Every structure is written in structure tokens, then in C-alpha cells.
Structure 1
Amino acid sequence: MALSIQHIIPKIGAEYHGKNPDATIDNVSIDSRSLQNNPLTLFFALVGPNNDAHIYIDELIGKGIQNFVVTNIPKDLGGKANFLKVKNTTEALQQFAVFYRNLYSFPVIGITGSNGKTIVKEWLNFLLSPDYNIIRSPKSYNSQVGVPLSVISINEKHNLGIFEAGISTINEMQKLEPIIRPTIGLLTNIGSAHDEGFANLGEKIKEKLKLFVDVDVLIYNKNKTIDAFIKNSKTFTWSCKDRNADVFISKKTILDKTLLHIDFGDHHFDLKIPFLDDASIENAIQCMMILLHFGYDYKTIESRMELLYPVEMRLKVKNGINNSTLIDDSYSSDFQSLKIALDFLESQKHHKKKTLILSDIFQSGLDKEELYAKVSQLIISNKINRVIGIGSTISEFKNKFLNSITFKNTEDFINAFDTLSFGNETILIKGARTFEFEKIVALLEEKTHETVLEINLNAISHNLNFFKSKLNPETKLMVMVKAFGYGNGGFEIAKLLEHHKVDYLGVAFADEGISLKTAGITTPIMVLNPENTSFPSIIQYQLEPEIYSVKGLNAFLKISEQKKLYHYPVHIKLDTGMHRLGFQENDLPELIATLKNTPSIKVKSILSHMATSDDLNQKQFALSQIDLFEKLSSNLMQELKINPIRHILNTSGISNFTEAQYDMVRLGIGLYGISNDAEEQHYLENVSTLKSIVSQIRTINEGESVGYGRRFMAEKTTKIATIPIGYADGISRSWGNGLGFVTINHQKAYIVGSICMDMLMVDCSEINCKEGDQVIIFGESPTVNLIAEKTHTIPYEILTSISQRVKRVFYRE
């Protein structure tokens, strides 16, 4: 990409204001945090419900960026850069993508549907890449912003595009269609995802079909429901039920594979695919239809389809050996996904030292010299300390990377592993599937037992933005990361929140804050329950204590005066009815007298905590707390002549008492996907999934028992699965004895007998499962809310009880 500003201005309907009208750009960005931004970047300042990128423009100019698409020019910045002023920056990004897409003319496969889009896209890339130079959506970039960013990555060497489009409501697809401009349409499975955005199934189908208004051919699974909405004259259909389809398919299972028999006009052939589940079979058939449309011979189709593989669509963060952290992206290696992975590395780095293990890059559309020059520049921009290249091609260009070592193949790396040093660093492992980098991950991953708690970082970001959308633009946000991030992991969550630029982090005790500061967190951290003995450490690590008693205030003042501090930030806690911690109304005269003329400290905020914000039956009590907080905090501010941050709302308060936002709110359990409001729960995404495996399966006879105390007695022949997780891992014993269940292969398996320290047993008589199969302890089913309800506790207790011996794995879709 090398485009002049003057060429772009009319395409996006912009009004030019600037100092260099002859400027050119060679990349586009919407992320102010990306280290890949440079003077040739065109930055679109997007505006969301609770985020406005215009506030970062001054900072970006300081970093050398000179070209911006804006809705307004920030004060005092006129003349300091090129500004392309538009009415809506998101629409301008889409218009730019339409213009850019029209610069190229080659076949483009457009994919939409409810399920399977990303997997079909990745499989098509694998199946077609031997013959085409493919540009495709990275990861699942299929949104109103993701689609434009995908298309803008096209270059002159590409001769086939594969782009996916996702929508959540009406009037979205008509914006994406001219950006993708597909010539071949592929409609995947229509399911229940995003049903809430449509009046009915028909409305959803009609909206998705808008992607295909101008395609040369539309491929889909023929059925009467979809047929009724099809207006394209040329379709290419398949079915396992309707013989009127262009391609009729019958299937049967052979061991661990599915045999498909294909009837295509006068042609008949068989092919095997390495999957048994219905979703994978349907996705594979969609890919086969594209190959048939492209005219591939049956032997080629069969040989390539048999090599299909499970697609890992997530970037995972794992604990590595020698206090290292791994980012596992070991299943793809292309230029666009490398850029995304490097941004993710920056947002999740746990150590100053950063290592990249990288295989040969495929399907860039660039010649090798240009490609590896660009890769080198990416690595320099992202301040990677060490590069380990694996592959014959990257080895040829070793001289382009500082502090690098290369190996011809993965086997050579493994053989040399003991001579390499890894520790106290963040390691991004980024490789094409053919290099089998999972072997490298296995070498570098810290060895723990097979029970893991998976934390979805996308879901945390979604939930954060959901609650931010309820706030006034000026309202600050503190997020609670106490108790090991509500059981989900402290540092990793804190790092993501810092990436999202929250205003404060909250912890209960000083050691939690010290751990985060030591790990490199720079966001201000409030300690909500500091012990007087921790005050020296709080000061040493620049934490900010909550002060809730005269005794505590005097203790902190004594230390602050000894250390000759000036305006050290503290936070004054008022008791407005919780009666747990805080100054009461009759304490205020002494508090005010003590705070006057104390230059060593500064009241940064005044806060209180609500006792019943989640219970609207006690709304009057909550309102009385708010009224008392207003009274007491106003008195403090007036007497001390200060204007601190005020905050009283917690998660439930944000939703139920929005009028009391004051200057800041404190988000806690809601970030982790839990709400006590059933309606609100629908809008939150599940963050934590506790997984284990089936260790052993046995069959017991009628009258035989299971577990301690023989609390389960079989009434018939019963198949029992043992799962390696127990109450030492945080599973309450009250969840056993037939009350609770786990999920194995999408089916409920009820817990039988008592839960043991390290194991529990389930009845899997009606489930087709085997040893080693995955087990969901909680997540989508059963939910944490359900477990809490059935065991008569609260979701907080379920999450925070998960032992730290359970490995946490963080991932991003």
C-alpha cells in the first residue's frame, strides 16, 4: 500500500486540514497502543459507546504519527498533523476499505452464517494455498471494523481472497458487502448465535444473504427454509437429505473417520475426513463444494480433504519453564496474523525480555526479500529481544534479525533445546501447522496436572465494555483484581485492564498490589483493606491505601511524616450502612481536624460501599446510603476545601443506581461474567471455563458402591468415569452425591458419591466417551451461577475457591 492523502480525501468524503498535503501512507491503524504505528500510518480515530480515540491523538503525534481521520480536531492540535475530518470515522474506515477493495480484481470467496465461518475459512486456505496466493481475514476479523482491516491487507501479489462477515443485527451486512465484494458466496450453518438481534429466523437469513447480492455463484446446504429466500439465479447446492441438490452426500463412520460418498451429476466418488462430529463434517463439506466449483479432480480433493485438522482459533497464554510466559499461536504463520500476535504479546507481556520463535511465513503475497524486510521491521517496532527462526527460508534471511538464531526445521531446534536458555521472559511461539510447533510448546510449558481453568480475554474485554457503556463519558472506572482476580489470575487480568486504560485497579491487601507492581503494572492501585504494618511497603511500591479509621490515619501520617512525603495519595472510606469498615458520621470532626494542615498526604478519593445494591427489594436502604454518602462526603470536601474523586457504586450499583455514578465506579464480579440480574446476564460473556479429563472408566454392577462411605449404590449396571479434580482444587463437597454434574461431550454426567480431595466420579452410562475425553466442570454448562444456587452460596465463592494448583490458561479468540 502506498497511497497519497489527496487520493484518499474524496474517497471518504473528508475535509482536509493540515500541513503536508502531499503526504503518503502505507498502512492503516485504529489502535493507539500498537507499536507498529509509524509516520506512514493513517490513524482512524474511532468513537465507541464509551471510548473516543481522539483523546490519544496528542500522544500519537508525539510518537511520530502525522495522518489522522477524525470527526473533530482536538484543541491546540490544529496545524501539528494532517487531519481528514469526516462525520463518522467508522464509516470512513469502511469507505476507505471499499475504495481499496476496488483497486483489485480477482476471485473473492465471501463467507457468512451463524457457525463455522472461521473454520471453513482456515480450511479453505489450507486446501487452496498450494495453487493460489491467498489473502484472508486474520483470526475471526469479521465485524464492521474487522472486515475493513482484513481487506486493507490485500496486495498486488494476491490472486484469491477469502473473507468472512459476521453480523449481530439488521442493516449491518449491506455495509460489509461492498467492502468484501465477493464473487463466490458460501453460506455456512444458520444457528442460534445472535438471535437476539433479529425479530425471527427469516429476518436473520435475509440479512445474511445481502452479502451475496452480486456473486457469480452461491453455495449452501439446500433446505426449504433457506430456499424460500434465495434470489440468486446461480446456486450450487448440497444436501445429505434432498436428492434435488446439485451434490448429494451420504456418510458413514469408519473407526475415527467419516466416509463421504459424493453423487455429483454423473460423477460418484468417496472421500474420508478425519472427523466424526456433525459440525466438522458440515464444515468439511462446504470446503469440498468450493473445490468442486473450482474444478479440482476427485483424487486431489480426496488427498487434501483427508489432511484437514482441528483449527485452533485462540491465542493462549500459558505458564512456561523457568518463570517464563508462553503465548501459544502455533498453528498459523502469515504476515497479518503475525502483526496481531505481536500486538497481543505487547498487551500480555509478563517480562521485559521478549522472545519470538517464528517459522517460515507463508502466503504473504510478497517476494521473500520484501516479506522478511517487513517482518524484520515488525520485530524492531515491537522491541523483540531475541528471534529464533525455524525453517529453510527464514534461515536464509537470518541477517535481517538482530540477536537471532535459526534452525532448518523443528527437529533441529528440539535437538539443540538443551543448549538454549529460556527463563524470565515472554515467549511468542508463532508457526505454520506443518512445523508442528506444538512440540516446542510441550517442551517450554510448565508441567502441571491436566485440570485447567481457561480464561477468555475476549470475554473480559466484552464485559468491561458492556459496563463502560452504562457510564457517563467522564466517569472514571476502577476494576477489582483482588483475590487473584476473583480466582481468574491477578497479573494477566491486570495487564489486560491496563491495556484498556482503566483508571484504577483495586486489591484487598498490600501483598496483592506489590505482586502486580513488581510484575510491571503501572496503573494506580488502591489497597482497600490495608493493615497498619503494611504501610511502609505500600509507600515503597507506590500503592494507594484506603484509610478507614482514625487509628489507621494516625499510623499512616506518622510514617508519611517520617519519610517526609508530600501529598501522598490516600482514599478515605466512609461507613454509610455496611458497618464493616469506614469512618462514621460522629468520626468526621476528628477526621477533619486531623486532615487539616497535613501536607504529607492528599485525599485522592472519598468512597463508601453499598450493602444492598443487588437487591431492589431493599432499594430504600441503598438510596439512604447514597444520601448519607452525599452528605458526609460533601461535608468533608467543604471543610477541607478539596475536590477529590467520589465513588460508591459496585457492579450491581452500576446497573441499578446509575444516577449515583459520581466521579468513579468500581467494577468487580461483573467483569468476570457474573450478574445477579437474569436479564443482564444474557449480555455478559462467560469468562472462566474449568476443564479436566476422564482419567478412567469402569463398569460396576447392581449393588456395588462408589467412593468414601459408599454413599452411591448402583441400582443397575452403571458406567463410572473418574475425573482428576476434587475439593483441594476448590470443588465444594456439597456439589456431590447426585446434586451436581459435569459436561462430557455436550451431555450431563451427574456426580456420584462424595467428592474426594483430588477426584470426583460421575455416571456416564448414557454418554459415548472414553478415557482422555475433555470434561467441563463449569463454564457454559454448568454455569457458576447454577452451582452457586444449588449449593446455597454465591458465585464469588465458587470462583475464588479454585486452587492455585489449577493451571490458568489465558486465551484470545
Structure 2
Amino acid sequence: MNALHLYLQNLDHNYRYIRKHLQPSTQCIGVVKAAAYGSHSIAFAKRLVELGIDSLAVAYTEEGVQLRESGILTPIMVFYPQKDTLQSLLHADLEPCLYSKELMETFESLLNQNGIQNYPIHIKYNTGLHRVGFALEEINWVLDKIVAPCFQLKTVYSHLAASEEKRPSSQCDLQIQRFQHIREQHSHSNKNLPKFHLLNSSGVFNYPELQFDAVRCGIALHGFANRPEWDQQLKPIAELETHISQIHEVHEGESVGYDQGWKASKNSRIACLPLGHADGIGRHYGNQRSSVQIHGNQAPVVGNVCMDMLMVDVTEIQCKEGDRVLLFGKDYTASDFASQGGTISYEILTAIGPRIKR
């Protein structure tokens, strides 16, 4: 009925394009959090491993455990480990990104209790995004802590808040300046230098001179880099399709959907599609704010999107029940569709629900 097709050959293209533009010594961290941005985390991660990815990254411990249980042995970073999942993280040989004093001390105690030394960790600093991360004022505290025998510091990193913003960006420039200071402090204090990384997908395109030792790529592997000129170099991997369940003849003045969301200004043909906000197509796509493609024609979404159904106007389109409908794909991309609903490719991709077959 509904399907999200994933074209892994496009992932191959995106990975190779990115790798081609990295310095030979720069590692690529493949970000596969949130079910690999709504696709299929295991299939996606295994393909990256085949392609030669240096390491993987997830948001939470449970995601990393799932990859380990599938047989993936590649190093896996956990961006936002929670205290109550540290034991599971340790058992699965996952690498925590430590971002607060409390978290770091809790993990240190856990390692010492288990008699573990030289366990790989990553340190995250908050340089201006103000999400998670150690404050600049805590650098010395971190430097004192990381010499503990239980830790092996692998990388130090931060995250730009507006990496796609046209240069010069005052926000990014300030964060870059702060990160350079962090890098200098760590470089002067560590005998075994960790690797440093700052750039996400957009940053790889916008700040090629700041690759440092590694970059983190997530959405770019799916074909998007947040600027049209960059997106043109990549290939979307996801295509969301459905089919027409039923077509109604709606007379002038009659309404469609909950709360009489749309009224026909003329006699119309309305097609019902078997997916709705329970599948990730939110109400913000309704009431003619977005459209889908049927036989290459745009069919506007009319009325309010329902939980399991949405309706489109096919008055001017030759179609029948059972015909294929494309929500997004290669030419009319997830980014194009998302923009109609006032959002971004990340949100529509990660919102696609489990009822839709991959």
C-alpha cells in the first residue's frame, strides 16, 4: 500500500562525493541516529560500513545496541547518553560523548567499579548552540578529569548552530573562534592528542578549511545539505509512494474532511490516499499548503489531514483508483515537500511512521 523506497546506490554516490572532498587524513563519521533519519538504520549502517565509513554515531544508547545486535562492529559514538543507560552502553561497547560533569563522573565511577581502563570517550563542548556540552569555563575541569586511567580520550568536538548560513556568519565565526581555543587548550595539555571535529553535513560544504581530523555526516548522506546548490551535488535516497484508495465526486459547495476544512468552489473529483498524520504527514500539510504528484501532475492536499487518510484534488488529472501517487522522490524531493509544510527535510524523513514499509 505505502512504501518508502531507499535507493542505496544513491547513498553510495553521496558518500563518495563527500569522501572525495575530504582531506585524506580526515575521517568521516556516519550519523545514523533516528533510524538513520527515518530510513532503515541497520541496512543504512551496514552499507556505510561496506563503503568504508570510519565510525558511526547515534543519538541514544538503545540505537547503538540495536546496531551491535545486528552484527555491526564498527566504533559507534553515542551523542546523548543518559545516566540510566550507561551500563547498557558499556555492555554493548559503545563510545559515550560526555557533555556534563555529572555524566562524566557517573561514567568514571561505573568504569572504576568494573575495573576498566582506557575506555574510549568523546568530549562535547557547547560553543554557542546551547544544546548540550561542557561550558568553556569547564575546560580545566575536563582536562584534569581526562587523565584518569579509566578514560581514553578519542575526540573533542562541538556543533555549529548555523553551518548552512552564508559566510561570513557572526554566529559561526564566534563558535569557530571558541573551538580553536578549546583545541589549543587540549593540544597543550594532552600527550596523546585526541582528534578534533566541528563540521556537520552543511559545514562540510561551507567550511572545507575546517575539516580538522573528522567530520560528521548525516543528512548529506541522504541527499541534502541545506542549500540548493549543495543539494544538486547529491542524490536523495528516499522515495515515498502511496496509491489512490477511492475517488469521490464532490459537488460545488460541499466540504471535504474534518471541520469542513475545504469547500468545493465547483464540481470536483477528490482522491483519498491511505496515509495521514499517524504516518508522519502532519496537519500542517493540509488545506492546499502542499501537493502530491500523480502521473507527473501536482494534486493539492485539500481539507485537514486525517490520522490515516488525506485527500487531494484530482479534478484536472486523469487518474483512477489504484494509481500510484508520489509524495517525494528524486525530482520532487523530501526537501521540496517539507518546505510546503513550513518545515525541513530532517523532519519529514524522520517522521515517516512504522506503518510505512521500507
TM-score bracket for this pair, using the shorter chain length? over 0.9
> Which residue of the partner structure matches residue 572 of structure 1?
123
> Which residue of the partner structure matches residue 789 of structure 1?
339
Rg larger in 1 or in 2? 1
Mapped to 2, the partners of 1:637 and 1:534 lie a distance apart of 31
Mapped to 2, the partners of 1:556 and 1:774 lie a distance apart of 52
Matches of residues 346-365 of structure 1 in structure 2 within 5 Å? none
Shift of 1:457: 0.4
Shift of 1:737: 0.9
For 2:94, the aligned partner's letter is L
**Please, which of 190, 196, 199 is the counterpart of residue 640 of structure 1?**
190
Mapped to 2, the partners of 1:695 and 1:788 lie a distance apart of 23
**Please, which of 544, 550, 555 is the counterpart of residue 95 of structure 2?**
544
Shift of 1:618: 5.4
Mapped to 2, the partners of 1:617 and 1:524 lie a distance apart of 34
> Which residue of the partner structure matches residue 63 of structure 2?
512
Mapped to 1, the partners of 2:142 and 2:322 lie a distance apart of 62
> Which residue of the partner structure matches residue 484 of structure 1?
35
1:699 and 2:249 correspond:
yes
For 2:202, the aligned partner's letter is S
- State the Cα deviation string for residues 56-88 of structure 1 (Å, max 9, x = none): xxxxxxxxxxxxxxxxxxxxxxxxxxxxxxxxx
Shift of 1:642: 2.2
> Which residue of the partner structure matches residue 493 of structure 1?
44
1:468 and 2:14 correspond:
no
Mapped to 2, the partners of 1:642 and 1:584 lie a distance apart of 23
> Which residue of the partner structure matches residue 299 of structure 2?
749
Shift of 1:617: 5.2
Shift of 1:741: 0.9
Mapped to 1, the partners of 2:156 and 2:167 lie a distance apart of 27
Query: Can you give the 5+ residue segments of structure 2 that lack an aligned partner in the other structure?
Result: none
Matches of residues 662-681 of structure 1 in structure 2 within 5 Å? 662-681=212-231
Matches of residues 225-240 of structure 1 in structure 2 within 5 Å? none
Mapped to 2, the partners of 1:796 and 1:804 lie a distance apart of 17
For 1:568, the aligned partner's letter is Y
For 1:707, the aligned partner's letter is G
For 1:692, the aligned partner's letter is T
Shift of 1:554: 0.7
Mapped to 2, the partners of 1:458 and 1:781 lie a distance apart of 16
Shift of 1:549: 1.1
SS in 2 for 1:552: helix
Contact kept, 8 Å, 2:235 with 2:330, in 1: the verdict is no
> Which residue of the partner structure matches residue 123 of structure 1?
none
Mapped to 1, the partners of 2:115 and 2:57 lie a distance apart of 26
Mapped to 2, the partners of 1:586 and 1:647 lie a distance apart of 20
Identity %: 39
Shift of 1:576: 1.5
Mapped to 2, the partners of 1:729 and 1:798 lie a distance apart of 10
Shift of 1:718: 1.0
Mapped to 1, the partners of 2:124 and 2:216 lie a distance apart of 14
Contact kept, 8 Å, 1:743 with 1:781, in 2: the verdict is no
SS in 2 for 1:807: coil
**Please, which of 109, 120, 132 is the counterpart of residue 558 of structure 1?**
109
Mapped to 2, the partners of 1:552 and 1:585 lie a distance apart of 17
> Which residue of the partner structure matches residue 80 of structure 2?
529
Shift of 1:748: 1.1
Contact kept, 8 Å, 1:741 with 1:782, in 2: the verdict is no
**Please, which of 121, 126, 146 is the counterpart of residue 595 of structure 1?**
146
- State the Cα deviation string for residues 454-474 of structure 1 (Å, max 9, x = none): 111011111111111211111
Mapped to 2, the partners of 1:738 and 1:585 lie a distance apart of 47
Contact kept, 8 Å, 1:721 with 1:761, in 2: the verdict is yes
Shift of 1:492: 0.9
SS in 1 for 2:53: coil
**Please, which of 593, 616, 620 is the counterpart of residue 166 of structure 2?**
616
> Which residue of the partner structure matches residue 631 of structure 1?
181
State the TM-score, normalized to the length of structure 2. Answer: 0.97
Mapped to 2, the partners of 1:700 and 1:492 lie a distance apart of 44
SS in 2 for 1:477: strand
For 1:753, the aligned partner's letter is G
Matches of residues 109-188 of structure 1 in structure 2 within 5 Å? none
- State the Cα deviation string for residues 245-267 of structure 1 (Å, max 9, x = none): xxxxxxxxxxxxxxxxxxxxxxx
- State the Cα deviation string for residues 493-533 of structure 1 (Å, max 9, x = none): 00100111101111000000000000111111000000011
Q: Which has the higher contact order (CA 8 A, sep 6+)?
A: 2
1:778 and 2:339 correspond:
no
Mapped to 1, the partners of 2:226 and 2:287 lie a distance apart of 27
SS in 1 for 2:301: strand
Mapped to 2, the partners of 1:747 and 1:579 lie a distance apart of 43
- State the Cα deviation string for residues 689-732 of structure 1 (Å, max 9, x = none): 11100111121222222111122222222111111010000002
Query: Can you give the 5+ residue segments of structure 1 that lack an aligned partner in the other structure?
Result: 1-449, 809-813
> Which residue of the partner structure matches residue 451 of structure 1?
2
- State the Cα deviation string for residues 604-640 of structure 1 (Å, max 9, x = none): 1111111111112552331332222122122123213
Contact kept, 8 Å, 1:509 with 1:528, in 2: the verdict is yes
Shift of 1:781: 5.3
Shift of 1:780: 3.5
More displaced stretch, 541-550 vs 682-691: 682-691
Mapped to 2, the partners of 1:659 and 1:620 lie a distance apart of 17
Mapped to 2, the partners of 1:761 and 1:786 lie a distance apart of 19
> Which residue of the partner structure matches residue 650 of structure 1?
200
More displaced stretch, 701-710 vs 660-669: 701-710
Runs of 4 or more above 4 Å deviation: none
State the TM-score, normalized to the length of structure 1. Answer: 0.43
- State the Cα deviation string for residues 465-486 of structure 1 (Å, max 9, x = none): 1111211111100011001111
Contact kept, 8 Å, 2:195 with 2:214, in 1: the verdict is yes
Mapped to 2, the partners of 1:807 and 1:472 lie a distance apart of 38
> Which residue of the partner structure matches residue 316 of structure 2?
766
Contact kept, 8 Å, 2:328 with 2:334, in 1: the verdict is yes
> Which residue of the partner structure matches residue 717 of structure 1?
267
Mapped to 2, the partners of 1:645 and 1:588 lie a distance apart of 16
For 1:532, the aligned partner's letter is K
Mapped to 1, the partners of 2:263 and 2:175 lie a distance apart of 53
SS in 1 for 2:169: helix
Contact kept, 8 Å, 2:200 with 2:218, in 1: the verdict is yes
1:586 and 2:137 correspond:
yes
Q: How many residues align?
A: 358
> Which residue of the partner structure matches residue 76 of structure 1?
none
Contact kept, 8 Å, 1:647 with 1:665, in 2: the verdict is yes
